[in-house]
Every structure is written in C-alpha cells, then in structure tokens.
Structure 1
Amino acid sequence: MFIESFLILLALNFLSAGGVNRPEERIVGGGPIEIEQAPWQVSFQIRGHHICGGSIYNADTIITAAHCFFLSGAWQDPRHYEIRAGSKSIKSNGILVKVAAVKVHEYYVHKENQFFVLQNDIAVVRLSERLQFTNKVQPIPLAESNPEPGTMSFATGWGNMYGADAGDANKIPIHLQGVKLRIQSPNFCVRFHGQSKICAGDSKHTICTHDSGGPLVINRQLVGVTSGRGPNCDRPATFSSVPYHREWILNAVKSFPQHV
C-alpha cells in the first residue's frame, strides 16, 4: 500500500513540473465529448488515478507515450498500471484491464536541462486480456504520412483545462475533453524535431498535464501521440509522429506473444 501510494504521489509530482516543453497533460480551448466520438481513447491509471492517455490499436494493444512509464525519470513496473476503456469518465463505467507488458522505443531519449527533451517518445502496451469491441471501444488505424501544415486535427484526453498545476483537482476533468488543433509547420514549436514530431495547436487551443500519450487524429486515423507542451499549456504542442514511427510500432506489436 505504501509503495503504491508513493507511486501515485510521484506521478502527480512529475506531471505537475513546470518548464519549457514539458510532457503534455491537458486539453485547453476544447470541450467535453462522448466516448463514442473517440472510442479508441483509454485512460492509463495507477490505483484509480489517471496518469496518461492512450489509443487502442487492436484488441490487446495500446499505443501511448514512452514517458508515461518514467515518473521523475525512473522506470515504473508496468504491472502497477491498468487502463480504463469504453467510458468518457476516468472514474466509472467502461472496463478496467491490467497492463501485462510494455515496449518502449529503444532510442527513447528523456533529458532535462534548459529544455525538456523527448525523442522517440512512443511505447506499445500489451494488455492482460483482450478488449471486446463495441460502439464505445474501437481500434484506430495508423496514418501513413504526416499531415500538411494547415490541416485540422482532433486531440482528446483528461488533462488539465485551466493550467499546468496537476495538484489542483479543479483543473482535472472527470469527463473526456476534445479540441480541434491546426497542424503547424514543424519548426513552429519550441524545438525542431524534423519528421519525428508533429506540431499542432496555438496559444488558446492545445493540450496540457495528463493528456500525455493520448491521440492526435485526422480522418479517424492516428497521426500523433501527445508528447510535449509549453510551461503553462499556452503554446502549440508536440506529438510523436505515428507515420514516422509506424514500422517500429508494427514490429513491436508483432514481438508480443499472442493471446491464446
């Protein structure tokens, strides 16, 4: 019990840290949506506390951000995590499924100096049991090419709505939020990451604390995984490019033992 409580506090402390280009945690400038509008969305939780988002790829595989498993820079045992799928609420309904295993990109980089640097911030998660698909639980296919600047996308999550302080419960929504984000030129974000990152949003429409790992979607295809934001959730955000990492994702999915 002590260890699990410590992990929760550690997670909340990690996700509330300030600084430039911190891991992403909230939806800003959007509004509540129904789970049927994003049935691939899941919540990663530790003892009922929402930590990150993720996207359903198939019945037993979730795609999320690598940094969701490194709290304060330290690797966490995946068995402490579970996902809630099929619900707009992080507190009730849907189904809870434990995490069985995680594959983090072997070249994931997590450095903290003047900037919070996240490279290859992507992970594939194997669930302990298969999901049953319904109108509230659906997989999402992987996009094959990065979107052009000016394209409109859709980001969802349970991140903070009014600021980057993860300790303020009034800023953390219980119900799923969504926001339309305009794709920006890659160098419009704080740091240039080439094709491996997608830059989207603006000062009034972006993501924030606890949105990490969630989906960036265009035409019902997964184009990005929520990765980084500005210090006060008031700047365009960065997303790990799914097209850029597509081959790695597919190989990681194949490497897991198949459920009988």
Structure 2
Amino acid sequence: MRSVWAVVAAVGLSGCGGELVEHEQVAVVDSVGQEIVGGVEARPNSHPWIVSLQEYGSHFCGGSLIRVSANVEASDIVLTAAHCVYDGNSGLTATAGAHNLDSPPAGQVTVQAARTVYHPRYDPDTTLHDIAIVKLERPIRFSSTIQPILLPAAGAQVADGAEGTVAGWGLTREGGYDTSSILMQVGVPVVPHRTVAEAYAREGIDIDKAAMFGAGYTQGGKDSCQGDSGGPFVFKNGSGKYVQQGIVSFGVGCARAGLPGIYTRVSNYIGWIRTQVQTLSSVR
C-alpha cells in the first residue's frame, strides 16, 4: 500500500444482470496468517483473479479480473484503484496468471490496456472514491490458473474482526526500493470504523465509512505496501467462495502499529462498476 504511499497508496463481477455471488470459483489460499511486509510467498495459482498492472514491463500496481458475462468464459475488464491510473499510463498492460514475474509460467497472459476510467468523484487529495476500471484491448480467457473474482452485493458490509487476504507484488518492507517478483499475501482483520477513524484523524485524514474500511493489527507488522495498490482484498463467504470486498488504497507507512491499511469498499460501487462494464466491455 503506500506512505499516505503519497496518498497513493490500499476482490469481479459475476454477471451484469444481478447475481453477484453465485457463480463457481476455484479454491484459493488455505491459510491467511501471512504478511506481505516481511515476505511470505502465496501458493501458486491460489489467487487466479489477481492481475499485475505494468508500464513497459515493470509492475507498479495490482488489479483483479472480473466477470463481465455469465455466458462467456473471458473478460476484458480489470478492477483497480483510481490513484493507479489517475495520471494516465502509457504502455499500460495487464498480466494475468502470474506468480513469479521474473519467470512466467506457460499459462501467463499479458494484454495491452485500451482505456482506463476512474470514478468521476475520485479525489486525489483525500483518496476518496479510489476505484477505477481498465478496459483491455482483447479479452483474457479463463483457465485453470486464470479466473474472475466475485463481487459483493451492493451495500454489503464486512463484519468487524473478519479476516481477509490481500496479495500483491509490492514492497516487502516500508522504505524498501524493489517490489517483489514473487506474489506475496497477508491475512489481516477488519478494524472497527471508529478505531480507524480516530487513528487517521490524528494524522489529519478523514475516513469515509461508506467508501472505505480499515484492516490490520493493533501492533502492526502485517500489511500491504507500495506496489500492492489497486490489488484485491478478499473474504470467504458463507458458501466458502472468495469475494472481493476491498481494493488496496492507502495508508500511513506500511504495517505501522495503530495505523491499519485503508481499502476502498467495493460494495459501495457495484452500480458504478456495472455501468462501466456495460459501456466498455466488448464481451457479450
């Protein structure tokens, strides 16, 4: 995630018509008690929806592949953070099916971005409404190692204390210089809004409950970091399937005590996401 990552920094759509959490999805990570800061490798292919956004072959942000049609096993839409694409990205590509970016597996796919659209009310000063869509030049077909993530129902809330998993190729420590070539993961619990709001108020930052939520440990030590921005924060639902509730957005430093990471609340934007999919996607 960040260093108020420059207030830059923080899991897809099953069907545009309405059922957002009912399609099948592959099994993922069995254990989530692991950190990105500090460095623990994710199990290969355990996050089949995660995407590496790159400029001229260099990773800079994460994203997630979302389903755009219930009838087509392919997608040309990636969900990410607005701050990742706000300044425009020439040479932007999306890589799916990746694990070790330095050693691409046979099933890895890279597609050029055709267009980026960030939320019209995104505020780069406050990082409010930190959500964006990347439209790809051609659809990426789903496979055993590439799958879309489910999105929550509109307005759904994540319970305080619920533990989710965030993954990415970002820095493994605050102040580091190089992002990880290996996909890393961390499990962190949702922190009550009042606790998050009070902690960030002391930093002069307002946390909007409808649009954001925080996750992390009181003692710190586990978090996402720069380069993880835009990536998915997923939780298991009652059916044992994973749903993207958050997008890595921002924070103060990485894994600092008393300052949980801040995530865009995906359920607040389901209507906007549907509209963008219907407008932009060529998959029918």
TM range (shorter): 0.7 to 0.9
In 2 relative to 1, CA 20–221 (structure 1 residues): closer, same or farther, beyond 3 Å? closer
- Structure 1 position 154 matched with structure 2 position 165: yes
Further displaced range: 81-90 or 24-33 = 24-33
The CA deviation at 1:258 is 1.8
Corresponding position of 2:21? none
Distance 1:132 1:206 in 2: 31
State, as a whole percentage, how many aligned pairs show the same letter.
26
Normalized per residue, the structure richer in helix is: 1
Question: Runs of 5+ in structure 1 lacking a partner?
Answer: 1-14, 112-116
Corresponding position of 1:177? 184
Corresponding position of 1:186? 193
Corresponding position of 1:218? 235
3-state DSSP of counterpart to 1:194:
coil
Distance 1:150 1:257 in 2: 36
3-state DSSP of counterpart to 2:149:
coil
Matches within 5 A, 1:13-28: 18-19=3-4, 22-24=7-9, 27-28=36-37
Match of 1:76 among 88, 92, 95: 88
Matches within 5 A, 1:79-228: 79-93=90-104, 94-111=108-125, 117-144=126-153, 145-165=156-176, 168-169=177-178, 172-189=179-196, 190=200, 191-202=206-217, 203-219=220-236, 220-228=242-250
In 2 relative to 1, CA 90–24 (structure 1 residues): closer, same or farther, beyond 3 Å? farther
- Per-residue CA deviation, residues 176-222 of structure 1 (Å, 9 max, x unaligned), is 00110101112333232112102111211111110000000001101
Distance 1:98 1:92 in 2: 20
- Superposed structure 1 runs of 4+ greater than 4 Å apart: 18-21
The CA deviation at 1:143 is 1.2
Corresponding position of 1:10? none
The CA deviation at 1:259 is 4.6
In 2 relative to 1, CA 137–20 (structure 1 residues): closer, same or farther, beyond 3 Å? closer
In 2 relative to 1, CA 132–20 (structure 1 residues): closer, same or farther, beyond 3 Å? closer
Corresponding position of 2:23? none
**TM-score normalized by structure 1?**
0.82
Q: Please tell me the root mean square deviation across aligned C-alpha atoms, in Å.
A: 2.1
Amino acid in structure 2 at the alignment position of 1:175: I
- Asked if the contact 2:224/2:254 (under 8 Å) is kept, the reply is no
Corresponding position of 2:275? 251
Corresponding position of 1:240? 264
The CA deviation at 1:246 is 1.1
Distance 1:227 1:244 in 2: 14
Match of 2:83 among 67, 70, 81: 67
- Asked if the contact 1:146/1:195 (under 8 Å) is kept, the reply is no
3-state DSSP of counterpart to 2:174:
coil
Amino acid in structure 2 at the alignment position of 1:181: V
The CA deviation at 1:257 is 4.8
In 2 relative to 1, CA 80–236 (structure 1 residues): closer, same or farther, beyond 3 Å? same
In 2 relative to 1, CA 254–42 (structure 1 residues): closer, same or farther, beyond 3 Å? same
Aligned length: 231
- Asked if the contact 2:191/2:215 (under 8 Å) is kept, the reply is yes
In 2 relative to 1, CA 204–251 (structure 1 residues): closer, same or farther, beyond 3 Å? same
Question: Runs of 5+ in structure 2 lacking a partner?
Answer: 11-34, 68-74, 201-205, 237-241
Amino acid in structure 1 at the alignment position of 2:98: S
The CA deviation at 1:133 is 1.0
- Asked if the contact 1:41/1:53 (under 8 Å) is kept, the reply is yes
Amino acid in structure 2 at the alignment position of 1:213: G
Amino acid in structure 1 at the alignment position of 2:8: P
Distance 2:171 2:281 in 1: 36
Amino acid in structure 2 at the alignment position of 1:174: S
